[in-house]
Amino acid sequence: MTFDRSLKIAPSILSADFANFGQEIRAVEAQGADWIHVDVMDGHFVPNLTFGPPMCAAIRPHIKTVMDVHLMIAPVDPYIEAFAEAGADILTAHLEAGSHVHRTLQAIRGAGCKAGLALNPGTGIEEIGYLLDMVDLICVMTVNPGFGGQKFIHSQIDKVRRLREMIGDRPIHIEIDGGITPETAPLMAQAGADVLVAGSAVFKGGSVDDPAPYGDNIRSIKAACGG
Ligand code: DX5
Ligand code: ZN
């Protein structure tokens, strides 16, 4: 994976048909998805449950792009090896998931994955200064994590602008997760984000039997951002 700051759309399979992940992934990649975003929830760190390493391993062969795994779990460390073995390219842990995020990020890179750090909407960027050289991606949550289809939180635009300045020339992706639509996407692209996660806005109106709307949806998000 070479570093690339061009705009990328990462559809979240949280909005796909859970009985059909393999086909959904192949369909959305054929329709222009740049990465595949996989939302892992534990019913403890967030009030919802999704899936774990065996499911990630099962879908891995269907992903030709990048498997971007968002861990909404606490604790994180006991599961890093299993998610790495399941084939994650990027493993993103939340700053709020424990008191030793420095160790967690070391362990993620040690397991051979790119390391991501996610920040909840209520978390500031002041305390991540010493972590910047340990991360490949920072995920700014623009909803409170746990569910797809929530409303974008506008206060995060300023956070992304300040984060972009803080990152400077470092090869770190800024990913936005939650409430991305053709209306909200350009706000974040202008603020400095390069990866936009979108669940409901990509999968709406389509299905594995009729995947063309996935492509239309991806293209309208990119077009709204001017690209
Ligand atoms: C929220 C998840 C998101 C979510 C995005 O907890 O991390 O990835 O699926 O869904 P939309 O795009 O529908 O807000
Ligand atoms: Zn996510």
Sequence-separated (6 or more) residues with CB below 8 Å from residue 201: 180, 181, 182, 217, 221
DSSP annotation of 77: G
* DSSP designation for 10: E
Q: Which ligand has the minimum distance to the alpha carbon of residue 68?
A: 2
pLDDT of residue 149: 97
Residue 8, pLDDT > 90, answer: yes
Q: Is 102 within 8 Å of 131 (Cβ atoms)?
A: yes
Environment class of 40 (CB within 10 Å of its CB; exposed 0-12, middle 13-18, buried 19+): buried
Strands (E), 127-224: 137-141, 173-177, 195-198
- Say how many Å lie between the CA of residue 178 and the centre of ligand 2: 7
Atom of ligand 1 nearest to the CA of 179: 14
pLDDT digits (tens, 9 = 90+) for 113-150: 999 999 999 999 999 999 999 999 999 999 999 999 99
Write the pLDDT tens digit of every residue in 23-72: 999 999 999 999 999 999 999 999 999 999 999 999 999 999 999 999 99
**pLDDT value at residue 178:** 98
Q: CA 175 to CA 169: how far, in whole Å?
A: 16
Residues known to be catalytic: 39, 177
Distance CA(13)–CA(15), nearest Å, equals 5
pLDDT digits (tens, 9 = 90+) for 189-206: 999 999 999 999 999 999
Report whether residue 70 contacts ligand 1, using a CB cutoff of 6 Å: yes
Q: Could you give all domains of the chain from N- to C-terminal order, each with its CATH number? A: 8-224 (3.20.20.70)
Calculate how far, in angstroms, residue 37's C-alpha sits from the geometric centre of ligand 2. Answer: 7
What are 33's two structure tokens? 């998805």
Q: Can you tell me the distance from the alpha carbon of 123 to that of 73, in angstroms, rounded to the nearest whole number?
A: 17
Buried b (16+ CB within 10 A) or exposed e, 186-213: ebbbebbbbbbbbbbbbbeebebeebee
Ligand 1: which atom is nearest the Cα of residue 142?
14
Structure tokens at 90: 């990027």
Q: Is the CB of 199 under 6 A from ligand 1?
A: yes
Whose alpha carbon is nearest atom 4 of ligand 1?
148
178 lines ligand 1 (CB under 6 A): yes
**CB 94 less than 6 A from any atom of ligand 1:** no
- What mean pLDDT is predicted for residues 171-184? 98
Rounded Cα distance between 74 and 62, Å, is 28
Q: Is the peptide bond before 182 cis (omega within 30 degrees of 0)?
A: no
Could you tell me if 200 and 162 are in contact, meaning their C-beta atoms sit under 8 angstroms apart? Answer: no
At residue 1, does pLDDT exceed 80? no
Convert the pLDDT of each residue in 87-110 to its tens digit.
999 999 999 999 999 999 999 999
- pLDDT at residue 227 above 90? no
182: pLDDT strictly greater than 90? yes
- pLDDT of 2: 80
Residue whose token pair is 């362990």? 107
Mutating to test ligand 1, I would choose from 9, 12, 72 the residue with most ligand atoms within 8 A of its C-beta, which is 12
Helix, coil or strand: residue 200: helix
Contact yes or no for 10/34 (Cβ under 8 A): yes
Which of 48, 150, 153, 203 is the pocket-test mutation for ligand 1 (most atoms within 8 Å of CB)?
Answer: 150
